[in-house]
A and B are shown apart, each in its own frame.
Chain A
């Protein structure tokens, strides 16, 4: 069993999935941020591979991508960060990437290096299931879970297609729109949860727009197996530029609060 499956099997409660952009604001600080998230109790760590044109992301994560790239982050740096983290954690690590970063490096090479570094799953933000044949075959060969998105606009017919290929968990997009903090969890998100549940037994995690303990509670009470938080975490990193101690403290406290709610 892979690390991701093991987490969902082992835990008797919903999982907390925390996201930060690899290399934001620089390699060393990012490693400290990731460790703080894990210390706070993050069950699965998602790392964004920074890209020049992150069209699925709102302003918060766009800015984090820019900070990371300005600090000189490359794909090599991202793998270095994973290897560093793997020295003292078994928490599953999932990449969120845009396809060009993978395509350009060579799909086989990217997945091989990711697997060697200790990555457990990869979600490609701009790859619907219809385009995933090559990637899926290679990912399976290297033992990496291909994580897919499901949106409110996804038809039942396509949910079935996606569920047939899904590994690890399904990432349910809670909003119509890009990543970023929102005031409430929409009823559309909860409808999506019950709709997808009818088609698959794979763990379902809700993400996009979730930032407060109340949001998290709403999702897990409705039956979500996990909640994914990105922008709220990236906000904490962005607000503590130059003060990594405060950043670590705030990140850890934030995850602890969120965990309590679920």
Chain B
């Protein structure tokens, strides 16, 4: 990071004045916990005993044979709750508790971050309210039920596009009104400083483990690491510990119905710099600077912004950002289920789809690590409904 809160020119703190004090508090609090061995100990205990870390780095014999390279999956689908999201919510909720906050609010797209927040709320004894776009509450009804089961209140958002972007808008509005006792637990590497930094740090456990695991199994670093990118937290989490290495990093965005159709969420591929939700980053916007509606088969990637650190990594060409379209994602969803007995989240299936489509780039001995950021149980009903239509 260059100057305070910046990744290159990206990032910053573009928020209402009312929130500035809360952000300063958050920064100071975070600096404190970073140097606190007690915090690290508490977090590690929860990660191990509660979340089920470390997660395996699973070799895929059948897909490797079929696609002609060594494919490993970093199994974040096996984290308690079904996705990598708990890595971040455990860290932030512990932080919130130390700051003396009484209430957690969160936004959610696919519902995975909402579920992960509901989980920490239950286990740490804090009330949770989750903002979720009305459209997403319908396409991810199972996750709504799970959140409610664990005691969280789910608030359907009916403004704007009724998806993740508007859920964040409403969470920010709630935070402004209740800033003194409420902690806004952001689910991705987006938002004003220090969120992108903090979320990346908590998610980096993915890359740290993967690095040690691949060294143990293969005796060398992988050639390529692939992860899906919406806001970009699972990708930052696995990329970050490899940033300085000679490892190809590929971020796969949601191409939706195709970038040329305008119905997509491929911000880093097709957006330009802009300010939304407190930070300067790549943004999908029209000629006048209005934020564009997005589309993706996966609610979790359906977001017009992206993390400021990803924006910097794109400009630096350190990470290759690309996109795959909905039909390829559905193929990958079925492929991994059939070949390996692992049903990926539709989000993570984007990363799988990219490897399938680019298999001819790799040699037999090339090592490709896919971050399997979540499991696909939540998507089964949606995919079944789509199949019914075909």
Same complex for A and B? Answer: yes
B14 adjacent to A153 (CB under 8 Å): no
A151 adjacent to B288 (CB under 8 Å): no
Tell me, yes or no, whether A2 is within 8 Å of chain B by CB: no
Expressed in whole angstroms, the minimum distance between the Cβ of B163 and any Cβ of chain A is 12
Chain A interface residue bracket vs B: 35 or more
Q: Given the complex, which residues of A lie within 8 Å of B159, measured CB to CB?
A: 59, 62
B16 adjacent to A103 (CB under 8 Å): no
A53 adjacent to B169 (CB under 8 Å): yes
Q: Given the complex, which residues of A lie within 8 Å of B172, measured CB to CB?
A: 55
Chain B interface residue bracket vs A: 35 or more
Tell me, yes or no, whether B121 is within 8 Å of chain A by CB: no
Closest Cβ neighbor of B291 among chain A residues: A52
0 or 1 for each of B24-36: is its CB under 8 Å from A? (1 = yes): 1000000000000
Tell me, yes or no, whether A158 is within 8 Å of chain B by CB: yes
A173 adjacent to B17 (CB under 8 Å): yes
B288 adjacent to A99 (CB under 8 Å): no
Expressed in whole angstroms, the minimum distance between the Cβ of A98 and any Cβ of chain B is 8
Q: Given the complex, which residues of A lie within 8 Å of B14, measured CB to CB?
A: 99, 126-128, 131
Interface of chain B: mostly helix, strand, loop or mixed: mixed
Q: Given the complex, which residues of B lie within 8 Å of A98, measured CB to CB?
A: 275
Tell me, yes or no, whether B173 is within 8 Å of chain A by CB: yes
0 or 1 for each of A157-187: is its CB under 8 Å from B? (1 = yes): 0100000000000000101111000000000
Closest Cβ neighbor of A153 among chain B residues: B21
0 or 1 for each of B268-296: is its CB under 8 Å from A? (1 = yes): 00000111111010010100111100000
B20 adjacent to A128 (CB under 8 Å): yes
0 or 1 for each of A53-80: is its CB under 8 Å from B? (1 = yes): 1011011001000000100001100000
Cα-based distance from A148 to B178 in the complex (angstroms): 22
Q: A104-B288, A154-B21 are in contact. Are A99 and B275 (CB under 8 A)?
A: yes
B291 adjacent to A150 (CB under 8 Å): no
Cα-based distance from A98 to B291 in the complex (angstroms): 12
User: Given B16, B24, B177, which contacts A126 in the complex, CB threshold below 8 Å?
Assistant: B16
B16 adjacent to A125 (CB under 8 Å): yes
User: Given A51, A102, A131, A153, which contacts B18 in the complex, CB threshold below 8 Å?
Assistant: A153
* B-contacting residues, A5-22, CB 8 Å: none
0 or 1 for each of B1-44: is its CB under 8 Å from A? (1 = yes): 00000000000111111111110100000000000000000000
Expressed in whole angstroms, the minimum distance between the Cβ of A25 and any Cβ of chain B is 17
Tell me, yes or no, whether A100 is within 8 Å of chain B by CB: yes
Q: Given the complex, which residues of B lie within 8 Å of A127, measured CB to CB?
A: 14
B16 adjacent to A149 (CB under 8 Å): yes
Q: Given the complex, which residues of B lie within 8 Å of A99, measured CB to CB?
A: 14, 275
Cα-based distance from A139 to B153 in the complex (angstroms): 44
Q: A74-B288, A100-B285 are in contact. Are A52 and B21 (CB under 8 A)?
A: no
B160 adjacent to A53 (CB under 8 Å): yes
B176 adjacent to A177 (CB under 8 Å): yes
A176 adjacent to B13 (CB under 8 Å): no
0 or 1 for each of B282-322: is its CB under 8 Å from A? (1 = yes): 01010011110000000000000000000000000000000
Tell me, yes or no, whether A152 is within 8 Å of chain B by CB: yes
Tell me, yes or no, whether A221 is within 8 Å of chain B by CB: no
A128 adjacent to B291 (CB under 8 Å): no
13 A-B residue contacts at CB 8 Å?
Answer: A52-B290, A53-B276, A56-B16, A58-B173, A100-B283, A100-B291, A101-B288, A101-B290, A128-B20, A153-B22, A154-B17, A154-B21, A175-B177
| B interface residues, Cβ below 8 angstroms from A | 12-22, 24, 159-160, 165-166, 169, 172-173, 176-180, 273-278, 280, 283, 285, 288-291
| A interface residues, Cβ below 8 angstroms from B | 51-53, 55-56, 58-59, 62, 69, 74-75, 98-105, 125-128, 130-131, 148-155, 158, 173, 175-178
Q: Lowest 7 A-B CB distances belong to which pairs? A: A104-B289, A177-B177, A149-B17, A151-B18, A153-B21, A52-B290, A100-B275
